[in-house]
A and B are shown apart, each in its own frame.
Chain A
Amino acid sequence: MSVLNNYVYYGGAFGLIFIGIYIVLVKRNLIKVIIGLSILDTGINLFLISLGYISKGTAPIFSKIDMEIARMVDPVPQALVLTAIVIGVAVLALALTLAIRLYHHYGTLNLRKIKDQRW
């Protein structure tokens, strides 16, 4: 799996981030906005992991007792992203529960109509 020595991973991660921000800004349905949040989350995690990559490195796990440690990938961003993925799922579950509650109260999920109704 040779990785090209250019910035294709950065481009992919930032492409996901910008598509996510576009969905959150423009779309009107509440569940579409939450799908945009999920895509934004995935893009940020991909960017963090691609910062910690070292060329021709291996995964930071010792399979034999004396392995060569000169070429191992940075383990700190992987630990941070592990936490971030689980927190992402917690935030999405709570957001969808609030969307269900809003639907029961207003009868619609269109953000323009919800903003127009006052109490």
Chain B
Amino acid sequence: MIFIDTFLIIVMLAAAISASIFKDLMNAVIASCLVSLIASILFYFLQAPDVAMAEAAIGAALITAIFVIAIKRTKRYEE
């Protein structure tokens, strides 16, 4: 699999575009979590293990949790 990073970048861009299209805000938040996760894998391919660990722990776990808590206290559907 020589072209694995091209494939991952295409999946990441598709997830970012679908985060802007979804009307249900929970789906948009999960799409943005997928963007963070694939970015963490790409950081590892670019030989930066410290940054990959930080992005996986902070971007993919804590940011998504804070978004879900904020959506629970306001509306769920974009009107």
In Å, the complex CA distance between A32 and B25 comes to: 7
Interface residues of B in 47-79 (CB under 8 A from A): 47-51, 54-55, 58-59, 62-63, 66-67, 70-71, 73-75, 78-79
Q: B6 to A4, Cβ gap below 8 A?
A: yes
Q: How many residues of chain A have a CB within 8 Å of chain B?
A: 51
Q: Does A11 lie within 8 Å of B9, measured CB to CB? A: yes
**How many whole Å from B30's CB to the nearest CB in chain A?**
11
The count of chain B contact residues (Cβ–Cβ below 8 Å) is 43
CB–CB A3/B50 < 8 A: no
List the interface of chain A (C-beta within 8 A of B).
1-4, 8-9, 11-12, 15-16, 19-20, 22-23, 27-29, 31-32, 34-36, 38-39, 42, 45-46, 49-50, 53, 57-59, 61, 73, 78, 81-82, 85-86, 88-89, 92-93, 96-97, 99-100, 103, 109-110
Interface residues of chain B, those whose CB is within 8 Å of chain A, are 2-6, 9, 12-13, 16-17, 19-20, 25, 28-29, 32, 35-36, 39, 42-43, 45-51, 54-55, 58-59, 62-63, 66-67, 70-71, 73-75, 78-79
* 5 A–B contacts, CB within 8 A, in A order: A4-B5, A22-B20, A35-B32, A89-B59, A93-B66
